[in-house]
Amino acid sequence: MNRVRPVAVVAAMMPFARRVKAVFAAFVNTLLLALALSGAAAIVLPQDAEAARCTQNASGWSCTHTKQYNYYWCGGYYIPRAVRWQVPEGTPPAGGWPVAFYFAGTQPTDYNHAFDRDYGEAYGMEYEPQIIRELLDAPNGGKKYAVIVADPPATYGWVQAWHTNTVSPYSASCDAQFFPDFFAEIKGGSYGAASQYNMNKRYAYGISSGGFNSSRMAVTYNSGTGNANTWKALGIVAASYATCSYSCGTIPTLPTNHPPTKFWHGQNDGIVPISTMYAYFNKLVQGAFTTQKLENPGGHALTVDNLGTSGIKAWFDQY
């Protein structure tokens, strides 16, 4: 049997390899000459793109995140509350990432969450991770935001809802105990390096119970040491003023530093009628505060209006 000697094969291939190398070198030289003649100063090699925090599959959208528990005192008990958070890829800007706080609506206790939703979920929840994607990844440009999502307190057995309009006085609520501790924990490094967050540039948005709680940030947490004038804009979906619910009575005098606020509301919302939103919107208009509203023909839900040029990130980017 004749054996093929590897050395002989390699030797036979060398002239061919030299010819390929020569052809490639000639091509590169021709390309460089063409660029030089056309006035191109240099070839710019592509840089590695920053990885996206959020991805899409056949079921829906999801975003990577960290979950941990924020312990705090409420009613003499030391209790945990789940918090999920993520920061954008890349280096934070000077002063840190602006921080977007999302307040979810009434939901089952620590069950499904805003960082991972399937298409077709009730109340437009499929848009929650898509909004987070715009904030974290900025696929259409503009600013990037750290996103922090704390669970509402367990209020009705296995159901969570914010206390902003369910406990009176608010100072007796678990939320009134939670938020000062929560903000201090962020500033103290419990959610990664404190320097990555710009807690002087906070933004709040939410739907339903979480929308009322977004208003609470302007009413209660935009004054005092460490909080004064830190909330730059609010996004309120299917909700209204901090103490309203199905309807609104008299809305008190608004704080003079009330941040710019945009409302998204369904004209056929049977849970929080659009008239409830108008009570807050009109109060802002009367006080010459910056405000906008965007109505849709639907009901009590997030919609595609919360994305893109009409959406929450686009509103925050202005401030």
Listed in sequence order, the residues at least 6 apart from 74 whose beta carbon sits closer than 8 Å to its beta carbon are 153, 174, 177, 178
CA distance 233 to 214: 10
Summarised one tens digit per residue, pLDDT across range 10-56 is 333 334 334 433 444 444 344 433 433 344 333 333 333 467 999 99
**Alpha-helical runs (H) found in the chain:** 6-37, 128-137, 174-187, 209-220, 274-286, 312-317
Q: Sign of dihedral through CA atoms 37, 39, 41, 47? A: negative
Residue 192 Cα distances to 101, 148, 166, 185, 186, angstroms: 16, 12, 32, 10, 8
Residue 135 pLDDT more than 70?
yes
**Alpha-helical runs (H) found in 143-301:** 174-187, 209-220, 274-286
pLDDT of 292 reads: 98
Locate the domains of the chain by residue range. 1-37, 54-317
**Mean pLDDT score, 142-157:** 92
DSSP state of 93: P
pLDDT of 23 reads: 41
The CATH classification of domain 54-317, taken from the options 3.40.50.970, 3.40.605.10, 3.40.50.300, 3.40.50.1820: 3.40.50.1820
Of 90-99, 154-163, 293-302, give the lowest mean pLDDT range: 154-163
CB 165 within 8 A of CB 66: no
Which is more confident, 45 or 273? 273
**Mean pLDDT score, 93-106:** 96
Residue 202 pLDDT more than 80?
yes
CA distance 206 to 65: 19
**Mean pLDDT score, 267-280:** 98
Summarised one tens digit per residue, pLDDT across range 252-262 is 999 999 999 99
CB 302 within 8 A of CB 123: yes
Kindly state the helix (H) or strand (E) to which residue 148 belongs, with its residue range. strand 146-150
- Helix (H, G, I), strand (E, B), or coil: what is residue 313? helix
Phi and psi dihedrals of 303, rounded to 5? -140, 175
pLDDT of 26 reads: 45
Share of the chain above pLDDT 70, in %: 84
